[in-house]
Structure 1
């Protein structure tokens, strides 16, 4: 379920830095949420500085850059987990892109398990099936 989107000024990123962000953000997500990395989805959207503004100034006309992220987790994840992801994504952008921390913004969206779909099925049903399968396996072992 973990999905993250990074919105960045196109002059900030290279193919190599994009790969680093995609791979490291996936690892952060999997680690913090104790989730298989196969479930992560990470996207980067880049923006022409003529088409974005920071602080009311068009980025092409200023030294400002866009460094914004959003991430989605299922409702029930702890505040500590959400804060850890936000902090680590911020540090990731600072380290890889050299962006001043004060320019980075982000937010977390919580999604109810019955409103998130995995292979067309609500996550609530998928979770229940996984829990039931583990119980049955433990009972047989």
Structure 2
């Protein structure tokens, strides 16, 4: 193994022996630049592929949600766990809950309700695509 490495080194040295130091420096600089550009291109492509994969997953899950019937009915009351809060574009604070994976935005939630609290809600309406619903706060469970 060592003998092969020595032979390889001798071949490299003999092929470079006719080159000037300027030519070697230019060649080395070009090789380093090529490696840096390759690393940057690979990084950018991996990032782009990851974003595309995430978009595909999101789109397919959205399509699946549009195809199924909502597990809630308008006017019915449900007990849900608050997962998080979002702020509507009007500035109102809405609780975000799920019923069998179906997103429910809850309005008129008191300020002392925290994520992971269990509340009772009444379903008011569905969004245009029937992929989520709007509900109003009824009380604590």
Q: TM-score range by the shorter chain?
A: under 0.3
Q: Between Structure 1 and Structure 2, which shows a larger proportion of helix residues?
A: 1
**Structure with larger Rg:** 2
TM-score when scaled to structure 1? 0.20
Which structure carries more relative contact order (alpha carbon 8 Å, separation 6+)? Answer: 1
